[in-house]
Amino acid sequence: MKQFSIAIHGGAGTLVKGMMTPELEAKYKTHLEKALTIGYDVLKQGGSSLDAVEKAVVELENSHLFNAGKGSVFTANGSHEMDASIMEGKELQAGAVSLVTGIKNPVQLARCIMEQSGHVFMAGNGAMEYAKSLGFKLEAPEYFFDELRYNQWQEIKDSETFQLDHSLKKDSKFGTVGAVACDSKGTVAAATSTGGMTNKRFGRVGDSPMVGAGTYANNNTCAVSCTGSGEYFIRGVVAYDVSCLMEYKGLSLAEAAHEVINNRVLKLGGDGGLIAVDAQGNIAMPFNTEGMYRACQTSLGNKDISIYR
């Protein structure tokens, strides 16, 4: 049996030690561990990487601590518009959804789009209609309400500024969630889900639902889920770039992920990070911000749950 492994993230940003109370820090770590264990157990029982990443992301979406599903940030008009995507590396199947509201677990809708719609990417009203036809129950806006995120929005709501989640510094807050995994058959998968950026314009789409930018999976190389300033991650085609550096330049997972985050994205002016796994189960979790909520576990017995550098 090959090594199997999983990594998850809950966003990157200006996460400086001492910024949070020890209680809040412990809460973040507890939730990260819970989501990690849910995903890891799927792999341990011989399940697929696709199921593992979906289940881990659902758990993170259900926590108000992270900017995805419950706890999504507010848009400029005070609503929640969520994006998500999922991809597997054997057949390169992918599903993505953007600009949806009221959906408790957008990653599950992305998977349905991948497996049942014959399409890859659906957005807005069409995606909502499709969700309803599949029997997705809609949550009321109160379900997504989080006081911290509401206050963040109040601070900038009448300005042209939009900001990311998770930090003191207004322009560098990230809170997207994601998971990548390699199962015992050597198939990799990735999933990403987000509420996007606080006070983002109505209709703005970030990197998270974009195959190749925020999410990518290919058994020949790796699976990647990103978090950061989406506009830069789109322009850098970040997730696919990691895969390309491995495929065409022969870089290792660690080298490729480091090059993209600490060199290419930085040069573009973007900040954030990513989690990645290759088909041998190796993991990389680079970020160019002060911190990134992250956790990983491998069948070789390695386990890590971290926030800071």
Question: Interface with ligand ASP by CB under 6 A: which residues?
Answer: 11, 67, 164-165, 174-176, 194, 196-197, 206-208, 227-228, 230, 233, 272
CB of 156: closest distance to ligand ASP in angstroms? Answer: 16
Closer CB to ligand ASP, 208 or 297, in the complex: 208
Nearest residue by C-beta to ligand ASP? 230
**H-type alpha helices, the chain:** 22-44, 49-61, 106-112, 124-133, 141-144, 147-156, 230-235, 238-249, 253-259, 266-268
In whole angstroms, how close is the CB of 11 to ligand ASP at the nearest point? 5
In the set 14, 75, 101, 176, the catalytic residue is: 176
Q: How many residues does the chain have?
A: 309
- First-to-last CA distance in the chain? 33
Structure-token match 């480091």, residue found: 258
Dihedral (Cα; 309, 266, 244, 255), 10-degree rounding: -40
Nearer to ligand ASP, 164 or 244 (CB): 164
Find the shortest distance in angstroms from Cβ 91 to ligand ASP: 26
Give the residue with the Cβ less far from ligand ASP, 165 or 183. Answer: 165
- Residue 298 amino acid letter: T
Q: Of 102 and 236, which CB lies nearer to ligand ASP in the complex structure?
A: 236
Least Cβ distance, residue 12 to ligand ASP (angstroms): 7
Q: Which is nearer to ligand ASP, 152 or 194 (CB)?
A: 194
Residue 299: phi, psi to the nearest 5?
-70, -10
Question: Looking at the DSSP assignment, which residues form a beta bridge with residue 276?
Answer: 224, 284
* CB neighbour list of residue 302: distance below 8 Å, 6 or more residues apart: 296
Q: Are 307 and 30 in contact (CB under 8 A)?
A: no
Q: Indicate if 21 belongs to the active site.
A: no
Smallest distance, Å, CB 272 to ligand ASP?
6
Q: What's the per-residue H, E or C state across 195-239?
A: CCCECCCCCCCCCCCCECCCEEECCCCEEEEEEECHHHHHHCCHH
Min dist. Cβ of residue 38 to ligand ASP (A): 21
Contact 240, 233 (CB under 8 A): no
When the beta carbons of 67 and 108 are compared against ligand ASP, the nearer one is 67
Q: In whole angstroms, what is the distance from residue 114 CA to residue 116 CA?
A: 6
CA distance 128 to 115: 17
Write out the two tokens for 163. 């900001």
Q: Would you please indicate which residues are annotated as catalytic (active-site) residues? A: 176
